Amino acid sequence: MGPRPVVLSGPSGAGKSTLMKRLMKEHEGVFGFCVSHTTRNPRPGEEDGKDYHYTTKEAMQEGIDRGDFIENAEFSGNMYGTSKSAIEDVIAKNIICILDVDIQGVKKIRTLVSKDTDLDPIYISIQPPSMDVLEKRLRDRQTETEESLQKRLEAARLDMELSKEPGLFDMVIINDDLEKAYEELTALLSDEINKVLEAK
């Protein structure tokens, strides 16, 4: 049995991407990022197949109808989703597959995995210490309009509430100190990291 995939979730601005990038940099060749599909347009510097698989609403809806996706969601009028083949591509390399999904996606994967697949992921939520801290982080990025910022904050409020649901996550990491959050994350994944290293 290969290493278990990791389902990483948490609101925008909680530091999930920062932790994920560091994990992949410090454990090169151990983790593989599962590239999601989206119908939104690429942002400057983003690459198709690396940041996302960019697609059309029609093509994505067809895939969803066929059952090609283990989770999908709509946010701000754009569709996002994780395809089974994207996960299989990473797992086939015998490395740890990281999925970055929202809280609704986590629920969908939990439901599907328990009856359809033998993936057995580790579910981790990265949360900000408070809504105030999160709002400051998002404002400091200066990438949002006020309207989209409010939408993200609303989504974050919901995310923080739902992440408290018993049994949804194996671990909830409160990221008020990046070093500490990173240590908690690597400690939790050390068994899986060792599996990959021993198999090399």
Task: Give the DSSP letter string of 115-162.
Answer: HH----PEEEEEE-S-HHHHHHHHHHHT-S-HHHHHHHHHHHHHHHHH
Bridge-partner residues for 83, per DSSP?
Answer: 69
Q: How far is CA 174 from CA 48, 102, 157, 159, 180, in A?
A: 31, 16, 14, 13, 9
Beta strands in 10-121 (DSSP E): 31-33, 37-38, 53-54, 69-75, 78-83, 96-100
Name the active-site residue from 4, 22, 40, 43: 43
How far apart are the C-alpha atoms of 128 and 12, rounded to whole Å? 9
Residue of 66, 110, 137, 152 marked catalytic: 152
199 contact partners, CB below 8 Å, separation of at least 6: 2, 94
Residue 52 DSSP code: B
43 is known as an active-site residue: yes
Catalytic residue among 22, 110, 141, 157: 141
- Active-site residues, by number, are 43, 141, 152
